[in-house]
A and B are shown apart, each in its own frame.
Chain A
């Protein structure tokens, strides 16, 4: 029952773990930005990124840093404010919310598989390379569903 409803101490631990994970995100983001800006200076011109790759790493780095910092600030606020922490705990462990989250993921997965299948059929004759990538992604996705389902059947 404690797993379903989530103890107060467990939730505090979870918040601290989120802060730690976000610090890692910020470091990874800053590293990506640093490499995008100074990668060629550090490792030589043969490692310089073209404009698309440079933009990609810069964008990814900025996104990771911003997301990490926002998560850190939000979670520090939760640690300092017991009332909003309790409210957040209720929302996260509420069994109807958990049920809706699972149902949402399930429906979205079916839509994603169906959408990718339609895209593969349409792109098969026009852009074979894109269709092949989509087939690979769809295959991995279906394989993961099978593996996770098999594991869950064994442990539950």
Chain B
């Protein structure tokens, strides 16, 4: 699944560490999410979307294959 986490993080000039602290996960989790290696749980997706002030589907780009 593709995400816009890296793009949104860089727009806000945040490090992975800062974003990780803000949403209560480790930096490695943010790295894996940005690479698309790990799929976030619904609570974490909600936290990230709320942190960026967006809806979940604006941060996480679902494709037919993901559903």
Q: State the A residues within 8 Å of B (CB).
A: 1, 4-5, 90-91, 93-97, 99
Contact = CB atoms under 8 A, between A and B. Distances in A.
Contacts of A91: 26
A5 B24 contact: yes
Interface in B15-45: 20-21, 24-26, 28-29, 32, 38, 40-41, 43-44
The A interface is mostly helix, strand or loop, or mixed, namely helix
B43 A1 contact: yes
B43 A96 contact: no
A96 B29 CA distance: 6
B32 A90 contact: no
A87 to B, nearest CB: 9
A96 B43 CA distance: 13
B49 to A, nearest CB: 14
Contact of A90 (B26, B38, B44): B26
A94 B43 contact: no
A91 B21 CA distance: 11
B6 to A, nearest CB: 16
